[in-house]
C-alpha cells in the first residue's frame, strides 16, 4: 500500500441515472440520512474538499462519484429521510440509491453512516435490513462523534451498535471535526479498494 492513500483523488461525475455511471473495479458507497456527514467524511478521507457539504439537509440529490485512482472510487449517494420536498422526488432518491446498489459489480463495501448522537433511525435500520437481504457487504460508521460527551460515548456506541445487530467495536466511531477515527477509516477504505 502507498504511504499516502488517496493522494490523487478527483471528482468524476454527478449523475441522477445510476445506469449511466462509469464503473470502477473497486468502489465504496456512502449512504445515510441527509446531513449525517457523508460528503464531509469523503472530503476527510481524501484530505481534499471535493464533495460539496451543506448545513441544509437534502442538498445532495445526485449520485456523486470521486475517483481515488483509475481503478477505485468513492460514491456519495443521495441522503435519505429528508422530510420536506415532493413525495415523488423523495421516492426518486430512494430509487436512485437502490438503482446504484443493485448493479455495481465493483462494490466492495457500503459505508452506512449513522449520527453518533442520534443513533440509528428507523430508516437506517431499514437500510441495513435491505443491504443484508441484498447480500451486500456493509460497514457501520458513526459520524459527528465530537457531539457525544466523552462520559456517554461507551453507552451511546454500544446502544447504536445493538440496534443494528452489531457489537460496539464493530461500529467505526469518527469525527471530521476532531479527526478521531478518520485515519483508521482511510486505511481501511484504501485496503478495501486494493491499495487505491
Ligand atoms: N460537529 C460535526 N459536524 C459535522 C461532522 N461531519 C459533518 N458535519 C456537519 O454536518 C453538516 C452536514 O454535513 P454533510 O457532509 O454535508 O452531510 P451529507 O448531507 O450527509 O453529505 C455540515 O454542516 C457539516 O459541517 C462532524 O464530524 N462533526
Ligand atoms: Mg452530501
Q: What residue ranges of the chain have pLDDT lower than 70? A: 1-3, 56-60, 82-93, 196
Evaluate: CB of 155 within 6 angstroms of ligand 1. no
**Contacts from 12-16 at CB under 8 Å and sequence distance 24+?**
12/65, 12/66, 12/67, 12/73, 13/64, 13/65, 14/62, 14/63, 14/64, 14/65, 15/62, 15/63, 15/64, 15/65, 16/61, 16/62, 16/63, 16/92, 16/96
Indicate whether 2 belongs to any domain.
Answer: no
The pLDDT value given to residue 61: 82
Here the CATH number for the domain that contains residue 136 is 3.40.50.300
Indicate whether 1 belongs to any domain.
Answer: no
Which protein residue has the closest C-alpha to ligand 1 atom 11?
55
The pLDDT value given to residue 4: 77
The pLDDT value given to residue 83: 58
Indicate whether 131 belongs to any domain.
Answer: yes
Which protein residue has the closest C-alpha to ligand 1 atom 10?
37
Count of the separate structural domains present in the chain: 1
Ligand 2 geometric centre to CA of 23 (Å): 21
The atom number, within ligand 1, closest to the CA of 178 reads: 27
Indicate whether 5 belongs to any domain.
Answer: no
The pLDDT value given to residue 151: 97
Q: Tens digit of pLDDT for each residue in 55-107?
A: 766 555 899 999 999 999 999 999 987 655 666 555 566 888 999 999 999 99
Evaluate: CB of 38 within 6 angstroms of ligand 1. yes
Indicate whether 4 belongs to any domain.
Answer: no
Evaluate: CB of 146 within 6 angstroms of ligand 1. yes
- pTM over the 0.85 mark: yes
Domain that residue 92 falls in:
10-192
Q: What is the CA radius of gyration of the chain?
A: 16
The pLDDT value given to residue 86: 61
The pLDDT value given to residue 52: 86
Amino acid at each position: 500500500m502507498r504511504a499516502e492513500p488517496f493522494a490523487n483523488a478527483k471528482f468524476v461525475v454527478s449523475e441522477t441515472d445510476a445506469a449511466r455511471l462509469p464503473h470502477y473495479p473497486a468502489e465504496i458507497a456512502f449512504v445515510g440520512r441527509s446531513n449525517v456527514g457523508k460528503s464531509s467524511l469523503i472530503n476527510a478521507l481524501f484530505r481534499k474538499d471535493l464533495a460539496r457539504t451543506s448545513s441544509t439537509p437534502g442538498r445532495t440529490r445526485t449520485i456523486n462519484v470521486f475517483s481515488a485512482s483509475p481503478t477505485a472510487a468513492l460514491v456519495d449517494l443521495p441522503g435519505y429521510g429528508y422530510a420536506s420536498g415532493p413525495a415523488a422526488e423523495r421516492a426518486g432518491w430512494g430509487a436512485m440509491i437502490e438503482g446504484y446498489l443493485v448493479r455495481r459489480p465493483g462494490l466492495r463495501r457500503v459505508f452506512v453512516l449513522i449520527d453518533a448522537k442520534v443513533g440509528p433511525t428507523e430508516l437506517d435500520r431499514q437500510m441495513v435490513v435491505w443491504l443484508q437481504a441484498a447480500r451486500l457487504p456493509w460497514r457501520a460508521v458513526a459520524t459527528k462523534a465530537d457531539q457525544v460527551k466523552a462520559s456517554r460515548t461507551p453507552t451511546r456506541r454500544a446502544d447504536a451498535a445493538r440496534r443494528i445487530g452489531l457489537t460496539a467495536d464493530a461500529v467505526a466511531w469518527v469525527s471530521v471535526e476532531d479527526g478521531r477515527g478518520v485515519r483508521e477509516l482511510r486505511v481501511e477504505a484504501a485496503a478495501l479498494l486494493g491499495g487505491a
